[in-house]
């Protein structure tokens, strides 16, 4: 019976040792579990940071490429706008110029139709020589009408040409006759046959003029004497042949 008790006492010490080992093993297991649990979190965090960094780089790269593309499109649209604006400005100026030319053509056509009436007034003024009181009153009335007509033409920009004594210019004048003149040099207008007119600096109607050919040709005295001397020998030869 005593032996059994000793064994039981010895067996009573073993559970304490075993419990300490179990506790240490459990602590080690817990520590290992904590280490295992902490390691995946660190690895996952680094992967997330790397993915986020890559996403940011890709986004920045895509934004730079998109910005460059937008700048090219902006330059293209800007050049197109400038070209269209220039074309429109040229079109506007051309339209304005065409309208001005059309207006001048219409005015010129109307005024050209009136100019023969002015010519008739001037011819009548040169021919009329009023003597009686009644004729003078009629002449004054006629002069008043003529002055009104001239004033209307001036208001429209019509101005007469002054051509006598001027050099002949085919852009302004139309030569009807050419004749020698002792008074005027060659290609100088000696007489105005029909008055010409300007319209705002442009020719409305060419002037019909007579142009000088310069002084007439005269045989020099020396040439006349020479001709006489040459005639005498010939006459003598003719007489001797007759004999």
Could you report the per-residue pLDDT of 200-219, keeping only the tens digit for each? 888 999 999 999 998 865 44
Rounded to the nearest 5 percent, the helix, strand and coil shares of the chain are 70, 15, 15
Give the tens place of pLDDT for each residue, 173-197: 999 999 998 889 999 999 999 999 9
Q: What's the CATH fold of domain 159-217?
A: Nucleotide Exchange Factor Grpe; Chain A, domain 2 (2.30.22)
Sheet with strand 197-199: strands edge to edge: 158-160, 197-199, 202-205
Residues with Cβ within 8 Å of residue 50, at least 6 apart in sequence:
none
Show contacts of 24-29: CB within 8 Å, 24+ apart.
none
Instruction: Report pLDDT for 221.
Output: 42
Instruction: Report pLDDT for 215.
Output: 83
Instruction: Report pLDDT for 42.
Output: 53
Instruction: Report pLDDT for 103.
Output: 84
Instruction: Report pLDDT for 133.
Output: 78
Residues with Cβ within 8 Å of residue 216, at least 6 apart in sequence:
180, 182
186: closest CA among 164, 214, 217?
Answer: 214
CB 204 within 8 A of CB 112: yes
Instruction: Report pLDDT for 205.
Output: 93
Which residue positions in the chain have pLDDT lower than 50? 1-13, 15, 30, 33, 35-40, 218-243
Q: How many CB atoms lie within 10 A of CB 96?
A: 10
Instruction: Report pLDDT for 89.
Output: 92
188: closest CA among 208, 206, 214, 207?
Answer: 214
Kindly report the pTM of this predicted structure. 0.53
DSSP conformation letters of 64-95:
HHHHHHHHHHHHHHHHHHHHHHHHHHHHHHHH
């Amino acid at each position: 019976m005593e032996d059994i008790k000793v064994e039981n006492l010895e067996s009573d010490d073993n559970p304490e040792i075993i419990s300490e080992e179990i506790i240490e093993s459990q602590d080690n297991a817990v520590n290992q579990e904590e280490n295992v649990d902490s390691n995946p979190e660190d690895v996952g965090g680094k992967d997330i940071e790397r993915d986020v960094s890559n996403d940011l780089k890709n986004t920045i790269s895509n934004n730079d490429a998109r910005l460059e593309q937008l700048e090219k499109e902006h330059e293209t649209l800007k050049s197109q706008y400038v070209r269209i604006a220039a074309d429109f400005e040229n079109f506007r100026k051309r339209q304005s110029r065409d309208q001005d030319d059309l207006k001048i053509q219409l005015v010129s056509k109307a005024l050209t139709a009136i100019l023969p009436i002015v010519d008739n007034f001037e011819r009548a003024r040169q021919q009329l020589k009023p003597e009686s009181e009644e004729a003078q009153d009629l002449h004054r009335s006629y002069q008043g009408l003529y002055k009104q007509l001239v004033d209307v033409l001036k208001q429209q920009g019509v101005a007469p040409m002054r051509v006598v004594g001027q050099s002949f210019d085919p852009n302004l004048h139309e030569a009807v006759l050419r004749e020698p003149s002792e008074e005027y040099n060659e290609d100088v207008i000696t007489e105005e046959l029909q008055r010409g007119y300007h319209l705002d600096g442009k020719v409305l109607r060419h002037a019909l003029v007579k142009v000088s050919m310069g002084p007439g040709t005269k045989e020099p005295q020396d040439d006349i004497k020479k001709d006489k001397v040459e005639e005498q020998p010939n006459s003598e030869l003719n007489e001797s042949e007759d004999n």
